Chains A and B, each alone.
Chain A
Amino acid sequence: MAAPSALEQAAEGGSIQRSRAPGGLTLRAFLRNRRTMSGLGIVVLLGLFCFAGPLVYHSQLVIVNLNIINEPPGPGHPLGTDEYGFDVLARLMQGGQSSLELGFAVGIAGTVLGLLYGAISGVLGGIWDAVLMRIVDSLLAVPTLLLLIIVSSMFSLNLFVIIVILSVLSWPSVARLVRGQVLELRTREFAQASTGMGATKWWILVKHMIPNTLGICVVTATFGIADAIYALSVLSFLDIGPPPPFADWGTLLTNGVNNLFNGYWWQVYPPMIALILVVLAFRQIGDAMNDLASGGQTGRIYVRRRRRMGFLQISTQFDLRS
């Protein structure tokens, strides 16, 4: 592909660099990249485990059986049982469904909303920026715990309600981050050059700002997914989560941790490992997506080796195409 040679040229301190919109982030590039595929592979495996697993591994998760609570791994229960007598492996699958759905939905929704809001605010500038950011400040200042308690006592909390609430709570910080980034980008020459050439604000927004903030956004989305999954466990730690025996990895982990000193390690490690795996996998994907989205210059400060490096930002002196 053309990218490597442009890279190498650029690495030499070449002259005019061409700006590339995230053209590097094509489906084909995604599929051929080792890191995205390995990250995606983990996510797919986990997804299969959670959604297809129960079709293969049958265990009942409805009737509480106090006679077999808290049993260590053994025949019939490869990962032991929890405090309700449910098989831990089956709970892990059931929990994973909720966690994956939640993490994905909230992480993406929150980031997209925040990205749009923040980018628009940054580009508009002036009074509009002030108003929009003050609204963000207000949302950040509202006591979220209070909101959660009120909502939990008015509606019975199920997964959908929680997704909505967490998305609403997560976009303001993204918006601030993106807006900060946009403010900085606006001062760059390419943006000023574009304006000079008569491009409207919206054009700049779509063509330059949003693509160039993808770096921050991808990092944010990664954290967002981790945060969302984690937030549910905090909700259950504070006892305003969905009623038992609802399962998601975070809740399973919370309940397990309470038993840590009792020695029920099989209730703690499986959900913890699953949680960490999924977060790391998303991070892997996100990071690699960044690299692809660049398709431009290197990120190393000294040019000793020529490796295919990704970076996040496409900043050029002149953008002849805009």
Chain B
Amino acid sequence: MTWYIVRRLGQALAVVVGVMVLTFILLHIEPGNTAKAVLGLKATPARIAIFDHTYGLNKPLYQQFVIYVDQLFHGNLGISYQLQQPVTTLIAQRLPRDAVLLGLSTVLALIVGIPTGIYQAVNHNQFADDALAGTWFTLYSAPDFLEAFLLIALLCVQFHVFYATFSGGITSVGGLLADWRALVLPVLVLSINSVAGFSQYTRTQAIQSLASDYVRTARAKGLSRRLVLNRHVLRNSLLPVITIVGLSFPDIVAGALIAESIFNFPGMGLLFWQSALEHDYPVMLGATLVIGVATVIGSLAADLAYGVLDPRIRYGSS
């Protein structure tokens, strides 16, 4: 097993490097002159020259990449062109905040989604199943911003139960958690989408498990329904859910663009988005690196969890 992990880590490294190279190339394909994008109306040839010189943009592409990698190994991710701050600082400020927000919403979605999925499976094709499915899909189809608006309109504007935004003075994770009245709505909005997915996939798997032989055997042996559900059905139903959680792990570091924009939550999503629009290469590369690492970790963790949940799944054998 350890040999498997080591191999996977090696592959992970290869993936991350591949993604970095790809992103680097993509960035330089992006049409337009970087200096002009950043300087906007103030771009004069003299300033563009200074800009290019300061950031080494007039060197050949491969050389820029080499310099970047070299800096990377010294822990330096460069300086954001637009925000004029070290990229490491920016990421270190925003990442924990996103982790809190998205982590909480994923946990909430799991807590609600998995039991509902199993309940739906047990009451397959009954009224309860259809009603719940209808609710989840309705919530899923309605866009994030609509749900956010509706919730804000109801719970903040009409009845001042929660806050619509975080006050700008908060920066630390502790401060975030302390301002829980502003945390509730974004977590809720973000979890709504995931709940539909978790519950539906759980339901699908659970239906299958419920029909399988060992479950019926267990029932025939007289095991209580509860025990059968918890011990057998639940475990198997979790497999696709784990895949999804693994797939969503990078989202935790990629942030949630729309929620951040509506709830005044400067996180990785907005950082990424603005840097893409503004040709802010160092930030884009830094964020891609972080997301790439998170993706491979998520994928590896999901695969390992598979192995734990279903001992029959073994790696390394054909």
Contacts and interface: CB of A to CB of B under 8 A. Distances in A.
Direct contact of A and B (CB under 8 A): yes
Interface of A: 13, 124-126, 130, 133-134, 137-138, 140-143, 145-147, 149-150, 153-154, 173, 176-177, 180-181, 183-184, 187, 215-216, 219, 223, 226, 229-230, 233-234, 237-238, 250, 253-254, 257, 260-261, 268, 272, 275-276, 279-280, 283, 287, 290-291, 296-302, 307, 309-313, 315, 317
A117 to B, nearest CB: 14
18 contacts: A13-B220, A125-B317, A126-B318, A137-B15, A138-B18, A138-B22, A176-B247, A215-B208, A216-B201, A226-B140, A229-B141, A257-B146, A279-B140, A283-B137, A287-B133, A299-B207, A299-B211, A317-B213
A141 B14 CA distance: 12
A141 B29 contact: no
A183 B142 contact: no
B210 interface: yes
Given A215-B204, A312-B208, A313-B212, A234 B258 contact: yes
A272 B137 contact: no
Nearest to A150: B30
Contacts of B125: 291, 307, 309-310
Contact of B219 (A126, A187, A302, A310): A302
B26 A150 contact: yes
Contacts, number: 205
Contacts of A298: 211
Interface centre among B133, B137, B287, B313 (most CB of A within 10 A): B137
Contact of B313 (A137, A183, A280): A183
Nearest 8 pairs between A and B by C-beta?
Answer: A187-B312, A313-B208, A141-B295, A141-B292, A279-B141, A299-B207, A297-B211, A125-B318
Nearest to A173: B247
Contact of A134 (B11, B228, B247, B277): B11
B291 to A, nearest CB: 6
A11 B92 CA distance: 57
Contacts of B313: 183-184, 187
B316 to A, nearest CB: 8
Contacts of B107: none
Given A143-B26, A184-B239, A257-B146, 10 more contacts: A143-B276, A143-B291, A180-B240, A184-B313, A219-B201, A234-B258, A250-B143, A253-B146, A302-B219, A311-B211
Contact of A275 (B11, B141, B306): B141
Nearest to B291: A141
Given A140-B247, A257-B149, A223 B240 contact: no
Contact of A299 (B19, B121, B196): B121
Contacts of A229: 141
A126 B201 CA distance: 27
Contact of B296 (A125, A137, A272, A307): A137
A133 B250 CA distance: 16
Contacts of A184: 239, 306, 310, 312-313
A149 B240 contact: no
A48 B134 CA distance: 24
A162 to B, nearest CB: 17
Contacts of A143: 23, 26, 272, 276, 284, 287-288, 291
Contacts of A215: 204, 207-208
Nearest to B157: A261
B149 A234 contact: no
The interface residues of chain A, by DSSP majority, are classed as helix
A237 B213 CA distance: 49
Interface string B24-37: 00110111100000
Given A143-B23, A216-B201, A309-B124, A301 B243 contact: no
Given A275-B141, A301-B122, A181 B31 contact: no
B249 to A, nearest CB: 10
Nearest to A223: B197
B145 interface: yes
Contacts of B16: 141
B23 A283 contact: no
Contacts of B138: 276, 280
A141 to B, nearest CB: 4
Interface in B217-262: 219-220, 225, 228-229, 233, 239-240, 242-244, 246-247, 250, 257-258
Nearest to B217: A13
Given A238-B257, A260-B153, A261-B153, A137 B287 contact: no
A243 B222 CA distance: 64
A158 B232 CA distance: 49
Contacts of B215: 301
Contact of A147 (B26, B137, B229): B26
B23 to A, nearest CB: 6
B200 interface: yes
A124 B317 CA distance: 10
A212 B117 CA distance: 20
B29 A283 contact: no
B143 A141 contact: no
Contacts of B233: 301
Contact of B31 (A154, A216, A287, A290): A154
A110 to B, nearest CB: 14
B208 A134 contact: no
B210 A138 contact: no
Interface centre among A146, A154, A261, A291 (most CB of B within 10 A): A146
Contacts of A291: 125
A226 B295 contact: no
A128 to B, nearest CB: 9
A102 to B, nearest CB: 14
